[in-house]
Structure 1
Amino acid sequence: MRLTTGRGSQQGIPMPLWLQGAFESAQAAVISALLVLLPLAGVWWADGFQNKSFAGLARLGGQIWLVMHAVPLNLTFNNGPSSASVQNGTLSLVPLGLAVIPFLLSWRAGRRLARASYTDQLWQAVLGALLAYAAAGMGTAFICETAEVRASLPLGTLIPLIPVGLGLIIGARREAGTWGRLIGVDAADWIAATSQHSRWAGSYAWAAVRAGFVALLGALALSALLLVVDIVWHWSDIVAVYEGLKTGVVGGIALTIIQLSFLPNLVIWTLAWASGAGFALGVGSSVSPLGTVVAPVPAIPVLGALPVGEFSWGVVAMVINVLAGALAGWWFLRAGENHFDEWLAIKVKTRWFTATVSTLALGAVIGASAGIFAGVLALLAHGSSGLGRLTDIGPDFATTAVWVAVEVAVGVVVGYAAGPWLEREPKDAAHVSGGESG
């Protein structure tokens, strides 16, 4: 049987699955490349580049295409006649707003491939898609190499497969509905064969991980709101930088597009800043609610919204992750089952002790889950601009993970403890409901 019913059998393309996978993958590669080249073509048309050849434009577009797939670029510049003036560096700061493009295109391709595949055969389509995309990455890294900028062929071949592979698998899973229909193995049967304690432990851990993800989403939403408020508050400073650059209409549009591509990075930086961990904007710099110490930064308009000075009202923003943790604790109370509390209550009859210990343990587990998620985002939003001081940009993985984990854990304890009071129905409403039913 096909992975989906009805329309799957009607829309299947009559070609080998591996070839269809390659076609879908090539389509995603071409569309993502065009989305990169179109803004560059506008700047090129307005004489915004010194190198006015179309080949130079294509190579620049290919290099940006590699960066949007998280492929690091090795930079080499010579500022003088001697070899001592040669500077080397690595550009590894990924614009996450662009990185989501190949993921979404692959997600769409995964859904289409799932509709055309039978159970246990999807691997053929996925393998064909990955091989085609690997070839596109290797070809781009080879063709777009210059004396100043080059990408490692192995990295250019393999790293793009990470966002593409995730998109394919998640998209196929979304279309199939279950992992059993996707890979032919029913996990429910395997889980049913385990012991009751194992099922309880698995259910508890899975609910805690989902609660950690809820906490992360809440923290990101509040951080995005804080970023918007900060940009509006410093709008005059941002406009002043635009005016000072004198880029013209086309240049201003291109500069805005570049900044928008880093918008997810800025949200993650704001999350790290609000947690107290802060982020770096150059070697030896620190931007956090506890104080800001940075050297002169590049003339990028959005950086005009950077907080300045020492300890200030910004420390109030550290409540963001606590609020997100409280939301996660309340969510766990509604959607999860605290099997650890049940097990502990069986072993120890002192209820005030078991309730306290189980709640603190829940806060630690959910906090650790949220901290790991936040640390991964911090790792994705961290990188290097290649040369000079700006080889350390963004939040640190470990520091961000620890700060977020602790603050979310505190919020979980508060939210889980206060949850029963929030869920309790008012007496007047209960009385009215009982009277109407009578």
Structure 2
Amino acid sequence: MRPPIPAWISGAIAALQAFAWSWGLLVVPAVAAFVSAAAQVTTQDSWRSAVGVASRLWLLGHGGTVTVDGATISLIPLGIALLAFAAAYLSARRASRHTLTALISFTITYSLIAQLIALIMGSFGPRLLILTVIIALTGGYLGFRRQSAGDALVVAAPHWLARWNLPALRAGVAGGGASLALLLGIAAVLVTLWAFAGRAAASDIIASLDPDSIGGIVLGGAQLTYLFTLLIWAVAWLTGVGFHVGLGSEFAPAHVALDPLPAVPLLAALPTGDMAGGYTSWLISLVFAAGIVGGLVVWRRLRRLHETAAVPWRDCAIALGASLAFVFVVLVVAFWLATGSIGPGRLASAGPDVLGAALSGSLLIAAGATVTVTFLHPWLRAQVRAAWWSVFGRSGNSENAGERR
């Protein structure tokens, strides 16, 4: 019987597969674009150029930078990052070993591949390392856990963790995740409305560019990779803080300031001046509503933990605190990844105010969750009932006594 492959080798092979899948899906359209644009497409230089473009796009999707005509592009196409995450997840599921050692090897190997390509292309930066580790670690962990039911990845918790109320913490994280998922869905609807309102401007831009069939496909695919970045901008818009696309162009529910933007059809889907002020200023209440839904999830999970007893206020506080912390961290990371440079000069900065938007969004969600959990707690209902009877019940008894006299 053949001995099993070592866990660290299994993890390294899975990381190589993850890289090959995500990188290969970028090489194909790059080669197609060069084939349609160049007359001598079979030369070695043409193929090398296509591979170079695909590699730079792969690095850009992992937090690297790309230099075009002296201008640095660092705004991450989150669609490529999600593609890499899916490749990491699927590769981890196909791995022969699903242990903690394999996960560590998977993460290290994938990160080293990214750093090696960055060394060749001259594309460095802290976000490259951080985002690569996030993609490899989360994608690999979820893939390993799904395949092995988590048994091989369970590690004995230290004794000091016993003092933590882990079920309440998980309830808070679940509620925060539900709020974020609903908020992202609201942002998707908002982006759809923006795109519908700006369809005429987008058509004019496409007509002026006049791309051929292959060029149109490549242009559409490139814009799709930034669609998820636009979704994060819409989330920042919903928090009331908004975002900017270069100096002088600011987008928020209360105001919109427009300066000339690059001729890109996707930018035509940004909100215009008539979408600011008035009723749009109240759309931040949707973030509060997302917090209410998260609070319902938190309360439902806490009730499952205390089926035969009242839910302690301590558990409610722990769950709500965990929800606030989880939402804040996720929003900070998301907004940080959705900022960067899109061109020279005033276009060197685009995206939301990371800390301001994250703080506003997390506090609105936490307020909605806190109101919901407090309102649903039996103690509050008992106090309200007692106050009602102490006021209206006493007056009712006095009236009945007067009638008897």
TM-score range, shorter chain: 0.7 to 0.9
> Is the aligned partner of 1:239 residue 2:203?
yes
Residue in structure 2 matched with residue 396 of structure 1 by the alignment: 353
Q: Distance in 2 between matches of 1:369 and 1:158?
A: 18
Q: Say if 2:29 is the partner of 1:39.
A: yes
Q: Identify the structure with the greater helix proportion.
A: 2
> Residue 64 of structure 1 corresponds to which residue in structure 2?
57
Q: Of 277, 283, 301, which aligns to 1:317?
A: 283
**Cα 1:27/1:181, change in 2 over 3 Å:** closer
Q: 1:50 to 1:76 in 2, by over 3 A?
A: farther
Aligned-pair CA distance for 1:241: 1.7
Structure 1 residue 363, shift from structure 2 partner: 5.9
In the comparison of the two structures, how many residue pairs are matched? 370
Q: Render the CA deviation track for 1:267-303: whole Å, top value 9, x for unaligned.
A: 1111110110101101343210111113211111121
Match of 2:232 in 1: 268
Q: Distance in 2 between matches of 1:327 and 1:155?
A: 33
Find the counterpart in structure 2 of residue 355 from structure 1.
none
State the partner residue of 1:137: 114
Whole-angstrom CA distance in 2 between matches of 1:23 and 1:256 = 33
Aligned twin of 1:6: none
Match of 1:282 among 236, 239, 246: 246
Distance change in 2, residues 1:306/1:236 (3 Å): same
1:204 positional shift:
2.7
Map of 2:13 onto structure 1: 23
| 1:170 partner amino acid | L
**2:149 pairs with 1:177:** yes
Q: Summarize the alignment of residues 18-417 of structure 1 with structure 2, pairs less than 5 Å apart.
A: 18-47=8-37, 53-73=46-66, 75=67, 77=69, 90-113=72-95, 115-117=96-98, 122-123=100-101, 125-143=102-120, 145=121, 150-152=122-124, 160-178=132-150, 181-183=152-154, 185-187=155-157, 190=159, 194=162, 198-199=163-164, 201-309=165-273, 310-337=276-303, 343=312, 366-416=323-373
| Counterpart residue type for residue 244 of structure 2 | A
Contact 1:71–1:159, Cα closer than 8 Å, also in 2: no
- Listed as ranges, the gaps of 5+ residues in structure 2 are 379-405
What residue number does 1:351 align with? none
> How far 1:325 moved relative to its partner?
0.7
TM-score normalised by the chain length of structure 2: 0.79
SS in 2 for 1:369: helix
1:76/1:328 CA distance change after superposition, 3 Å: closer
CA distance in 2, matches of 1:417, 1:344: 9
Unaligned runs of 5+ in 1: 1-9, 78-86, 346-357, 422-438
| Rounded Cα–Cα distance in structure 2 between residues aligned with 1:95 and 1:216 | 20
Partner SS, residue 390 of structure 1 = helix
Change beyond 3 A, Cα 1:342–1:21: closer
Conservation of the 8 A alpha-carbon contact between 2:243 and 2:252: yes
3-state SS of paired residue (1:389): helix
Distance 1:134 1:269, change over 3 A: closer
Deviations 1:385-425, CA, capped at 9 Å, x for gaps: 2522222111121111111122213322443356589xxxx
Q: Is the 8 A contact 1:274 1:315 kept in 2?
A: no
Root mean square deviation, CA, Å: 3.5
SS in 1 for 2:37: coil
Give, in whole Å, the separation in 2 of the partners of 1:31 and 1:344: 49
- Preserved contact between residue 25 and residue 129 of structure 1 (Cα < 8 Å): yes
d(CA) in 2 for partners of 1:249 and 1:13?
52
Deviates more, 1:12-21 or 1:52-61: 12-21
Distance 1:21 1:222 in 2: 38
Distance in 1 (alpha carbons) for counterparts of 2:126 and 2:267: 35
The 2-side partners of 1:315 and 1:19 are apart by 55
Q: Which amino acid aligns with 1:332?
A: V
Q: 2:291–2:365: 8 Å Cα contact kept in structure 1?
A: yes
Q: Distance in 2 between matches of 1:308 and 1:155?
A: 31
